[in-house]
Amino acid sequence: MERTRAFRKGDQLFVSWGKPHRGKPIAKQRLSHWIADAIMLVYSSSGLQVPAGLRAHSTRVRVLTTPAAITCFVADFLKTDKLKDDPPFQFSIRGYAPSDQDVVVSLFRNGILEHVYPAFFRAMSHPDHIGVALSISMAGYVLGGSSYFQAFLFGSAWAGFIYYCCHEIYEGYMMTRLSTDMADIQANYLDNPDNGFWVAETEVNGQSKVVGMVAVTGKRRGEVTGSGRDDQNGGVMVEENAHGAGDGGFGELHFVVVSFVCRRKGLGSQLSQKALDFCKERGYNRLVLDTSSPQTAATSLYNKLGFVQTSSHNNTHRNRWFSKMARINVMRLEKFV
């Protein structure tokens, strides 16, 4: 309270520090989201089982409806001293094995579908979509005889359509990849010396657990290329070409996925570095990848690793209008090795 007294604009305990909402009370939904994430992170980092009541798809009710789970958390927190003494996560990266199929598919599925909601909220915050939503809501209000419910219904229909576009782009791509190259990783990656597929492991409760994955496909000089789809953050359609391929060809990065509890611990950088080292071993002169615009964290990571953007488009495996409505752009990043 003392630290925020100078700029506090209310008597709420939790207020915002950042502009432009500095000093204003934090919304209950946002605070609930933070508390739930903090509780899950504490449990995971201490090797404890996360209470089932904390798991929800909606960030608006993650904690508000789980008092029992919070009580359980407080009791466990007071009873254990692991939070201070446990060492940080130690990761090991190894080649893919057939026994990893189920966990790899699960990681890939979750890693792709988690982009739907960020893409949706990002699209709906665009001024054009806000204007359309307000116009449609006003039309519903007038046509419904000054009905607020009708206005809400019309506006919700527009929001539902935008969500559908975002969902189709990510889920459609996921299903396509699961039925093609990921259906037989051994044949499509391991049996080809120009390709590679790795998983990251860490120890949880005394047992090794796969918590990350990465793959590389090689493109040699003179190899015929064409349109393809990349899973990197959205499964967008990639227009491959030989620009800058050089005599050594190039590698294409796929499936960079890290489990939620192991993020912000450097694993994404380690997996990317593994791909870069593989490209050096195979004589590739660069590594390329495609990422979608809603994934600002991934883009920031790649920029820190030295990748630079070389092109951008909105072509996905779905109809181009889906990408336009969802406001999703595809950025190609490259790094010379």
Residue that has been written with the tokens 């001024």 in this structure: 127
What pLDDT, in 10s, does the model give residues 93-123? 999 999 999 999 999 999 999 999 999 999 9
Q: What is the pLDDT at residue 65? A: 43
Angle at CA of residue 193, ends 192 and 195, nearest 5°: 70
Read off the pLDDT band of 232 (50, 70, 90).
very low
Q: What is the pLDDT at residue 243? A: 42
Read off the pLDDT band of 234 (50, 70, 90).
very low
The 3-state secondary structure of 173-225 reads HHHHHHCCHHHHHHHHHHCCCCCEEEEEEEEECCEEEEEEEEEEEEECCCCCC
What pLDDT, in 10s, does the model give residues 55-82? 444 444 444 444 455 555 555 554 555 4
Q: What is the pLDDT at residue 261? A: 86
Residue that has been written with the tokens 């419910």 in this structure: 149
Contact 229, 237 (CB under 8 A): yes
What pLDDT, in 10s, does the model give residues 235-276? 444 444 434 444 568 999 999 999 988 888 999 999 999 999
Query: Which of 21, 55, 37, 325 lies closest to 167 in space, CA to CA?
Result: 325
Q: What is the pLDDT at residue 72? A: 55
Q: What is the pLDDT at residue 228? A: 44
Q: Which amino acid is at 213?
A: M
Q: What is the pTM of this model?
A: 0.68
The helix, strand and coil proportions of the chain, stated in percent and rounded to the nearest 5, come to: 45, 20, 35
pLDDT at 320 over 70: yes
Contact 81, 44 (CB under 8 A): no
pLDDT at 151 over 80: yes
User: Domains plus CATH for the chain?
Assistant: 1-86 (no CATH), 88-337 (3.40.630.30)
DSSP symbol at 113: H
pLDDT at 225 over 60: no
